Structure 1
Amino acid sequence: MEQTIDKRAEMMGTAKVPGAIVKLAVPAIVSMVVMAIYNMADTYFVSMSPEGYFGTAAVSVYMPIMLLTQALSILFAAGGAAYLSRLLGAQEKAKAGRTATTTIILSFLSGILVAVAGGIFAEPILLALGASGDTIDLALDYALVLLIASPVQLTNMAFNNLLRAEGSAVQSMVGMVIGAVLNMILDPVFIFTFNMGVMGAAVATAISQAVSFAILSSNYWRKKTVAKFRLKGFRFEREIVSYIVRVGSSTFLTQLLAAIGFAVINVCAKPYGDAAIAAFGIVNRIQFLGFALMFGFSQGYQPVAGYNFGAHKFERLKTAMKFGIAVALCIGALVTLACYTLAPQLMGLFTTDAYVMEIGVPALRWFTAGFTITAFTLIMLMTHQAFGKAGGALILSISRQGVCLIPTVLVLANVLGLFGIMLSPLVADIISGMIAAILAVRIFRFIRTTKEEYVLGILDPGAEQ
């Protein structure tokens, strides 16, 4: 068993690079797409409930809170996974195990914090995020159930990232897929059969997340992982926690600013009514499906890049980066084309309201117009994370969602109204793409310099890169 597990990790440093990336990326893509469908399922079934677009608006109002919760979970999950892949590449298995344990515990404790704080302040937060008198009760019904499930949700994110980081992408995928399928089965049962409406969608999601938790955690208590989870004698180590937070902070900020950005969009759309909030909510759910494809592929790329960097296999690393960039750009272009062509059909899956369609169809096209640039920026973000280059990863994280998107939405919404909201993501993508191009030049120069130092024997193998 131990040899099988070791080979699974070593595959990242020995198999053909494109094959290794694809082998890890396919389950990661499936997991991310499943997560997107997970989120879309609630919107789809709620839109068919008696609440109509008021229910859709209520679910949309909760989305910034959902993104904020995911941001907190990925702070530890992404940082822990990046460190784990580097440690495995350097053959430091004991430290990798302590890193996995730390990541899981931090995620669970953060989930408890979210559940308590969210439960206390749910109503004022939802009102500030755009809930109206017609949607606040529905939004509360939906939010409170999902907030209670936060410890499970956050820990699932840790399990998924850690399993992929050690080459166990299939195990990660299985837990996510089963949970998502169960969610889609339970949604209509609780919404329609039990007549629970919006709250029923939340209950179905919470149960599904609990099932995923049971499946994913079983990989650890059955000792089927490279990095072992051990509570006995556990203590937080400053070095491990610091690295996790430092590297994970970039992805955390990406998600955090995405939550703020979506909240700003809701607030700017509120003067146009609940139908406008519902339209942008649907658009964001659909575009997240396209983003999931790119993010899933990048999650397959990151462990291979991190492992080979940690093992100082620079030619393999160069191949991984070229392959990763090329495939990511293709995925981004295909998503843009699909959303432009099929925008009416995709929106029609979630609403029959004419005003929601009138806003949603062009919004979907504009929101996804810059996805090729987004794909490149995302690969550069993952590359910086894989190398432990927290500064560059941080810049890339805040550029699109924060420095670019939020001010752009506020300015263009004020000048161009609804069209300004639609145009903002493309403008943000263009600016952040320029920043990513500059950092790409620097990261290739860093690889070349590190390789020269290693060949000359002046690189300290134990030093932080």
Structure 2
Amino acid sequence: MKRRIVSNIFSIGMSPFLINVCACIIVIIINNSLQAHGGDMAIGAYGIINRLLTLYVMIVLGLTMGMQPIIGYNYGAGKTDRVKHTLRLGVFSGVVITSTGFLVCELFPRAVSALFTDSEDLIGLAAEGVRLAVMMFPLVGAQIVIGNFFQSIGKAKISIFLSLTRQLLYLLPCLLLFPQWWGLKGIWISMPVSDALAFVTAIVSLAVFHKKRLAAYTDAAKR
């Protein structure tokens, strides 16, 4: 029994572990690509952009941590209405948070970039990059919440898959291809493209899960 509990703990915790591992790999690849296409100044600009986006992502992650025990308990108790309500509220809140980040970065790119440096050249480069990088940022909130939803109900495989989609399955190929076509701008564009694809994947995964769940309830009712 203890071995089974430990196994479940590892399987559920594998999702956030892989997110961090993939993030490290992606940062290395991005830095190498930035160095090749924009030099040290581009790496500095990415550092600013990364700090700005991480601020809002951390808030969403805090939201999902608060959701996990609520969803997990009610899912285990069979209270699906509460699970759906919590998920809808979480997705809405996550989108509001990341949409706020999107608006701030799109409307005041130079002002937020200036919080991290006094260099006008670096501010200009970061401002240009952040406006491209956040084009699909509102969708990130929903994608994070849906991924953590599957983690909360013990669907480790789906959660791990969704964790890998944005950073490994989509962002990595974009980072390898887009800079070859559009240079430094291609690096910035790869971020919203992967955000959009990861969002679509999360929505499809949620729809498939709901359909299977509904089919299971229907079969049980017939019996």
Higher-Rg member (1/2):
1
- Structure with greater proportional helix content: 2
Aligned with 1:355 (options 96, 118, 121): 121
State the match for 1:342 in structure 2.
Answer: 108
Offset, 1:241? 2.4
Map residues 365-384 of structure 1 onto 2, 5 A cutoff.
365-384=131-150
Map residues 395-434 of structure 1 onto 2, 5 A cutoff.
395-434=161-200
Aligned with 1:331 (options 91, 97, 117): 97
1:270 maps to 2:40: no
| Kept in 1: contact 2:170–2:194 (CA 8 A) | yes
Map residues 16-95 of structure 1 onto 2, 5 A cutoff.
none
Offset, 1:388? 0.8
State the match for 1:394 in structure 2.
Answer: 160
Higher relative contact order (CA 8 A, sep 6+): 2
State the match for 1:76 in structure 2.
Answer: none
State the match for 1:113 in structure 2.
Answer: none
1:257 maps to 2:22: yes
Offset, 1:371? 1.7
Distance 1:324 1:443 in 2: 18
Offset, 1:357? 1.6
- Number of residue-to-residue matches in the alignment: 221
Structure 2: 5+ residue stretches without partners: none
The letter for the 2-side match of 1:353 is: S
Offset, 1:443? 2.4
1:322 maps to 2:93: no
Offset, 1:238? 2.2
Secondary structure, aligned partner of 2:154: coil
Distance 1:396 1:254 in 2: 10
Q: Which moved more, 1:400-409 or 1:287-296?
A: 287-296
The letter for the 1-side match of 2:46 is: F
| Kept in 2: contact 1:384–1:390 (CA 8 A) | yes
Pair 450,317 (structure 1): closer, same or farther in 2 beyond 3 Å: farther
| Kept in 2: contact 1:362–1:422 (CA 8 A) | no
Q: Which runs of 4+ in 1 moved over 3 A?
A: 446-453
Offset, 1:449? 4.8
Offset, 1:305? 0.8
State the match for 1:286 in structure 2.
Answer: 52
Pair 451,332 (structure 1): closer, same or farther in 2 beyond 3 Å: farther
Offset, 1:397? 0.7
Distance 2:215 2:82 in 1: 16
Distance 2:209 2:59 in 1: 24
Secondary structure, aligned partner of 1:352: coil
Offset, 1:450? 5.7
State the match for 1:132 in structure 2.
Answer: none
State the match for 1:244 in structure 2.
Answer: 9
1:131-150 deviations in whole A, cap 9, x for unaligned?
xxxxxxxxxxxxxxxxxxxx
1:62-116 deviations in whole A, cap 9, x for unaligned?
xxxxxxxxxxxxxxxxxxxxxxxxxxxxxxxxx9xxxxxxxxxxxxxxxxxxxxx
1:373-423 deviations in whole A, cap 9, x for unaligned?
111111110111011111211111111010101110121112211101111
Distance 2:88 2:103 in 1: 23
Give the TM-score of the pair, scaled to structure 1: 0.45
| Kept in 1: contact 2:110–2:124 (CA 8 A) | no
| Kept in 2: contact 1:343–1:361 (CA 8 A) | yes
| Kept in 2: contact 1:312–1:451 (CA 8 A) | no
1:303 maps to 2:69: yes
Distance 1:369 1:241 in 2: 41
Distance 2:20 2:132 in 1: 21
Distance 1:239 1:407 in 2: 37
| Kept in 2: contact 1:250–1:394 (CA 8 A) | yes
Secondary structure, aligned partner of 2:32: helix
| Kept in 2: contact 1:294–1:328 (CA 8 A) | yes
Aligned with 1:437 (options 190, 203, 220): 203
Distance 1:358 1:382 in 2: 36
